[in-house]
Amino acid sequence: MNINKMDIEQIAEAARTKSNRFEYACIRGVITYHARQLGMTLRKIGERLNKDHSTVAYYIRMHDANMRSSHIYRTFFKSLTKDKVLKIIEAL
């Protein structure tokens, strides 16, 4: 999966999917991290991603571990800037 070749709608669809593929979980984790930094509540983020607030809290807790250990997660984090995440959140 090359996130740089995906448009906003494709990324939003990947974030919304029920699949537990690691790449999709990485996208949801990065979106959750940036959305939380922008001041969104866990409940609002969960509503957008079709996840409950405890799952959203899990994505935030796992952010540091994934940044240390996962090359894929770091790549997604570099590709999905705050501006791009704002557009994705609007598309969700």
Mean of pLDDT values over 23-45 = 90
Task: Identify which of 14, 2, 1 has the alpha carbon closest to the alpha carbon of residue 91.
Answer: 14
> For the segment 42-77, what is each residue's pLDDT rounded down to a tens digit?
999 999 888 888 989 998 888 888 888 888 888 888
CB atoms within 10 A of CB 64: 10
- Residue 2, pLDDT > 80, answer no
